[in-house]
Amino acid sequence: MKITDILNPDMVVADLKGATKPDVLNELAKALAAKYKEIKLGDLTAVLAERERLGSTAIGDGIAIPHGKLRGVTKIIGVFGRHAQGVDFDSLDGGPSHLFFVLVAPEDSASLHLKALARVSRLLKDGSFRSRLLAAGDSAELYSLIKEEDNRY
């Protein structure tokens, strides 16, 4: 599985504006709902918020991977976002989250969903790669960096 199977170039938000966890989740959910007509914004934000209630998806090192399963979705899809200032996302290490990768999977996709989470986590755990993402100029450059890193594995 490749990240580029999940992430389209137009699903990269270089400059997230939200100041809180719900704001950022809503901003990223809006991007997915605008692109994929089978997604209802309210349903997606509820699924993501419920997952966060179970435990934060911020895994440390400035990374958060909000995710959930949603009826009507036929394949795993994602949106990547970057927040320059960082947001308190209840991270395991207590630090702000800057890099967000939302994954939405079909309701019946347990193994693919877990593979996608593992792939994104592995990709973002590389410190030099995270630094390049934080320094990138715009959405196109961010996607290019993700694609380049994705092709290395």
The tens digit of pLDDT for each residue in 46-83 reads 999 999 999 999 999 999 999 999 999 999 999 999 99
Residue 148 has pLDDT above 90, yes or no: yes
- DSSP at 96: P
Residue 68 burial by CB count (10 A; 0-12/13-18/19+): exposed, middle or buried? Answer: buried
Structural domains of the chain, ranges and CATH numbers in brackets: 3-151 (3.40.930.10)
Query: Would you name the residues annotated as active-site residues?
Result: 67
Residue 109 has pLDDT above 90, yes or no: no
Contact 53, 90 (CB under 8 A): no
Instruction: Assign 153 a pLDDT band (cuts: 50, 70, 90).
Output: confident
